[in-house]
A and B are shown apart, each in its own frame.
Chain A
């Protein structure tokens, strides 16, 4: 390739990507870098940045010795572990149950993706309404079975259950859609062969089908974990972290530390922790399924 051709090539390439790169750099990457930098400064909102004082690792020391941060981290881990494993189990079970049912499948799939598209504010409000002690549907249904009304969102354990239930409702469909798509790509001749060898449904499923889509299951799991660690808006509306701090996940803890506690350095230090967790998971996801991999081979 001649030099001039390469140059014009590169120049055209930059014309295509530059607008997007500039906007992402200015309004996404720069804020992320600033979040990390803020962790090392003592600065109050509303004052000029010039007045910010370098504070070194102080914010990190404060945050990492703060029991509230550890409680919040534990809440986040518990939330991610319980909701994601329930979603994986239910999503896989549903996909296996509905897999053969080709009639009406398109309709089912459409119905299933709806919860993911609803605004978090609407999801949070709806569940808050359903869990309402006085007017909520859930207590009304329980009353039919003779169960006394519960103050769902006023009890620490029940409130935690409530945020898990709402997350399961919203995100099990994602696992379902991924598993159904994975199963659709399984080579049927292998299944046929196993069937001829006399494999029963259970053996066929656990020994052949699921191992064949292990890759899809792994990437689904990591994607769900990433989202579980980022969760904020639904919980903000549903419980706002309460009662006490029983449902205060890391994102909400950051938000409250920054905008209610006005402790920006501390909020940024926690942000760095959350960022590291999410970036490690993202790196893992990219290793498993790299959307750029196809082109790397060509070039």
Chain B
């Protein structure tokens, strides 16, 4: 327990924790908002360019992060986004959107289209239909997408390592620097690792069913 106390009351731990929480929560909220809108737009409208956008999105889902590390560092320097939490949030939103759209698209398709048509006949505008009818019905999908996005934004450390400095570091970056800095202080390090591992595990316990639906989405009908 002493190790946990040392880690938690370390002066910089608080700052890294706050950084991680801001990045994790804000990135998740933005991803969910933009992701469900895009999924609805792709699933329920036909327009020129729809197919191109849909397939590009699907292909972007599997881009290896190592591939974009160098260009991201270069582009973010150009945009003055390095060493800022905003830069990290933008990146995590962008890399999580493809999966979120992919996942929610399936959930939108399962919403009975008759419900939306009935509302449209009653004079409901598309935005109202989206907010009042579609969103409440795809809540399980939103939960799954939230957990998967938060997991990446909270856990990721290679891009965060490249893009952050002393004041904008997230917890996983702090942990990775621990390894090389002072040899290896196993007690402290494992305490920190456990603290990082905890939040996604708690969410998974709370919504195991949604996580499983996210994992099997697309491949298994069910």
| A binding-site residues for B, Cβ under 8 Å | 9-10, 12-17, 19-21, 23-24, 26-32, 34-35, 38, 45, 49, 106, 109-110, 113-114, 116-122, 125-126, 128-129, 132, 135, 174, 177-178, 181-182, 184-185, 216, 219-220, 223, 226, 229-230, 232-233, 236-237, 250-252, 254-255, 258-259, 264, 267-268, 271, 274-275, 278-279, 281-283, 286, 289, 291-292, 294-295, 299
Contact = CB atoms under 8 A, between A and B. Distances in A.
Contacts of B78: 49
B73 interface: yes
B215 A31 contact: no
Contacts of A232: 64-66, 158
Given A28-B98, A275-B64, A12 B158 contact: no
Contacts of B109: 294-295
A29 B56 CA distance: 9
Contacts of B64: 229-230, 232, 251, 271, 274-275, 278
Contacts of A299: 46
B45 A181 contact: no
A106 B208 contact: yes
Of B53, B60, B64, B218, most A-chain CB atoms within 10 Å: B64
A34 B75 contact: yes
A14 B68 CA distance: 27
Contacts of A216: 219-220
Given A113-B215, A223-B219, A236-B158, 12 more contacts: A16-B38, A17-B42, A28-B60, A28-B98, A32-B63, A118-B200, A119-B155, A119-B196, A122-B175, A274-B64, A283-B59, A291-B106
- What class of interface size applies to chain B in its complex with A? 35 or more
Contacts of B203: 117
Contacts of A292: 54-55, 58, 105
A91 B151 CA distance: 23
A45 B94 contact: no
Given A24-B94, A291-B217, A45 B74 contact: yes
Interface stretch (B1-9, B10-18, B135-143, B185-193): B185-193
A23 B97 contact: yes
B196 A20 contact: no
A230 B75 contact: no
- State the main secondary structure of chain A at its contact with B: helix
A152 B215 CA distance: 33
Interface string B47-72: 11010011111111111111111111
Contacts of B157: 119-121, 233
A122 B218 contact: no
Interface string B183-222: 0101001100110110011011100100110011111111
B197 A122 contact: yes
9 closest A-B pairs by beta carbon, nearest first, are A16-B41, A27-B94, A13-B45, A34-B71, A20-B38, A119-B155, A251-B66, A17-B41, A122-B193
B63 A278 contact: yes
B101 interface: yes
Contact of A23 (B94, B151, B204): B94
Given A122-B193, A291-B58, A292-B54, A34 B74 contact: yes
Contacts, number: 252
Contacts of B29: none
B91 interface: yes
Contacts of B193: 119, 121-122, 125-126
Contact of B200 (A21, A35, A117, A283): A117
Contacts of B58: 282, 286, 291-292
Nearest to B101: A20
B38 A17 contact: yes
Contacts of B74: 34, 38, 45, 49
A26 B97 CA distance: 12
Contact of B97 (A20, A113, A181): A20
A126 B175 CA distance: 12
Contacts of A291: 58, 102, 105-106, 217-218
B21 interface: no
B43 interface: yes
Contacts of B105: 291-292
A23 B34 contact: yes
A2 to B, nearest CB: 15
